[in-house]
Amino acid sequence: MPAQLAALGITLLIEAPIVLAASARAPRGPGWRVAAALLPSCVTHPLAWRVIGNFGAHDYLVGWWLVEVLVTLAEALMLWGLTSLPLRIAAAVSVAANAASAVLGAALL
């Protein structure tokens, strides 16, 4: 559990500023933007952590890609709902935030 919490903390440190910056002109107010910066990762990270643990050495990379794609899609929908940004913008923000945290996460392994 401590490793999972540390990973979530790192994820939030990387992704939240990206979401906050990208949603600066969102139709919704600052409270919604803060929620959008924190809530999607807090929802998806525990699920992703649990799912990725089910993949073995032979299929870990495929599982990791699958989980990242599903997390990115789920978070894009949450960003769209929380910020009222256009869906294509919310999707681009989700891709950018998740790519940044995935690259750093892979580098830390």
pLDDT in tens, 69-90: 999 999 999 999 999 999 999 9
Q: What is the pTM of this model?
A: 0.93
Q: Which residue has the higher pLDDT, 107 or 19?
A: 19
C-alpha 28/C-alpha 21 separation (Å) is 14
Q: How much is the average pLDDT of 35-39?
A: 98
C-alpha 5/C-alpha 21 separation (Å) is 24
Cβ-contact 36, 94 below 8 angstroms:
no
Domain ranges for the chain, please list them: 2-108
